[in-house]
Structure 1
Amino acid sequence: MTDVILIPGLWLDADSWGPVTTAIDAAGHRAHPLTMPGVGEPAAASSDIGIHDWVERVVEHIDMIDGPIVVVGHSGGGNVAYGAVDRRPDRIAHVVLVDTVPPPDGADISEFPVTDGVVAFPGWDFFGDDAGDLDEATRERTAAMTRSVPARVPTDALRLTDDRRFEVPVTMLSGAADEAEVRGMLEQWPAWRDNVARIRSFEVVKLGTAHWPQFSKPTLLAGEILKVADRVQ
């Protein structure tokens, strides 16, 4: 049995992994979907929370597990996942990044408007083709699940200090790009390209989806995560 820690991207919580969690548990592994600190909290309760606190939340969970661990991070949650790998490289058997690339030291997630001291979900239309495979019913259902994130989190620099992280295998589950296309895109971002080049084992699996496969193709996403979980148990 493999323990699979599921880290959501911005604006999402543990419930966003619903069907994926069910599939992992049904396959005989153990899913740990997490909600990050300060999600859905007003500025008065979340203004001091940064990316370090999100990484620490994952590390605390890792320290409660004895067996092999796969850490999964979606989108901005990939930075959190890789921060946890840096903190516990000897405890994580594999990291899976869903439609995001392993970040280098100093990377942030992205910048979004801050309203009333928090970053609210900007709506599906804001993301254009990245949300292109979400039908209207899915958009309405999932938009209702979104919650604000602490203002600091999207723009905080991720600090990575332990080179042992490069020994942890990485699988990138890419929505629309295959491995050649991913590596071609990385040529435009030298810091990310050079970071990926140092990873002992880096593979790209094309899902053929947009950016939120946990909503558009949860069975497909769960199946690819389970392939990794089966390998490391």
Structure 2
Amino acid sequence: MDVILIPGLWLDASSWDDMLPALRAAGHSPRPLTLPGVGAPAADSAEIGIADWVDAVVAEIDAASGPVVLVGHSGGGNVAWGAADARPERVARVVFVDTVPPPHGGTISEFDTVDGVVPFPGWDFFDDDDVADLDAPTRAATAQRTRSVPARVPTDPLALTDGRRHAVPVTILSGALNAETLPGVIAEWGAFADESRRSTTRRWCTSAAVTGRSSHSPSRSPTLSYAPSDVSVRSQCPMPRPPSTGITAPEM
């Protein structure tokens, strides 16, 4: 199965490098993406918005020979959900890594624009709780590989129009919350809570339950493994077989 890997803000396809061997060993075809305008100057990226990022993923779905799994890390979860909304019949599952399904009109977050683009703001920008699971070496390595994103992308509202997305199986992986506490936290997130409740095949899982470690960084998130007829995250978090025919999202 094709597994389309969507990075969060400021990251490119290389952020998934550590995940690729396990996916290939499981017999799948990982397709990590670098989204349009990442690292480009304002002259080349000013017109790029969240819809263009969704379209880039939809193009990958359309190029696949069969159903796909979408994996969205943090802000990339908005992109994954937009693509699932555009092609619900082609998506076998959406895996949200440290984020949740956004509602119609949801945005990623707001950041300062510098020279017409949004650069990585540095770790001090984020609340301590948001990055507490990232040690100093991981922060340093991640900061070095960040690239600017188009100015419009973080604040563009996401357009969702097809209610069939709610039948797409959803898995939420959280590095900071467990399967017991995560639903209660999401319940306080207004429209995001409503969107998650509408997902009829939703499963909660935590990275600690999968590998004994957690991180908001995709390269240190749990290894994803997929069975031929369903999608699972190790044996500790089994997923149901997909049908035949899940606050502002975290910033990265």
TM-score by length of 2: 0.85
Aligned to 2:237: none
What whole-Å deviation, never above 9, does each CA across 1:156-204 have from its counterpart, x for those lacking one?
Answer: 0000000010110000001111233222112222211111111111111
What whole-Å deviation, never above 9, does each CA across 1:24-54 have from its counterpart, x for those lacking one?
Answer: 1122111000000000001111000000000
- Answer with 47-56 or 135-144: which moved more: 135-144
Aligned to 2:132: 132
Aligned to 1:188: 188
Taking a change above 3 Å as real, the CA distance of residues 67 and 13 of structure 1, as seen in their structure-2 partners, is same
Structure 1 residue 139: Cα displacement? 2.2
Aligned to 2:117: 118
What whole-Å deviation, never above 9, does each CA across 1:100-156 have from its counterpart, x for those lacking one?
Answer: 010110000001111111110012232333232333332222211100000000000
| Paired residue type of 1:211 | H
TM-score by length of 1: 0.92
Aligned to 1:30: 29
1:141 correspondence with 2:146? no
| Paired residue type of 1:74 | H
Contact 1:108 1:154 in 2 (8 A): yes
How do 1:220-231 and structure 2 match up within 5 A?
221-222=222-223, 225-227=224-226, 231=230
SS at match of 2:90: coil
Structure 1 residue 228: Cα displacement? 6.6
Contact 2:26 2:226 in 1 (8 A): no
| Paired residue type of 1:39 | V
Contact 2:38 2:148 in 1 (8 A): yes
- In structure 2, the gaps of 5 or more residues are 209-213, 232-240, 242-252
How do 1:1-233 and structure 2 match up within 5 A?
2-127=1-126, 128-208=128-208, 209-212=214-217, 214-215=218-219, 217-218=220-221, 221-222=222-223, 225-227=224-226, 231-232=230-231
Report the RMSD for the aligned CA atoms in angstroms. Answer: 1.7
More helix by share: 1
For the residues of structure 2 that align with 1:169 and 1:161, how far apart are their CA atoms?
18
- Answer with 127-136 or 79-88: which moved more: 127-136
For the residues of structure 2 that align with 1:154 and 1:139, how far apart are their CA atoms?
21
SS at match of 2:181: helix
SS at match of 1:5: strand
For the residues of structure 2 that align with 1:139 and 1:196, how far apart are their CA atoms?
30
Contact 1:129 1:210 in 2 (8 A): no
- Answer with 126-135 or 181-190: which moved more: 126-135
Runs of 4+ residues deviating >4 angstroms: 227-230
Identity %: 56
- In structure 1, the gaps of 5 or more residues are none
What whole-Å deviation, never above 9, does each CA across 1:38-73 have from its counterpart, x for those lacking one?
Answer: 000011110000000000000001111012311000
| Paired residue type of 2:169 | P
- Answer with 128-137 or 93-102: which moved more: 128-137
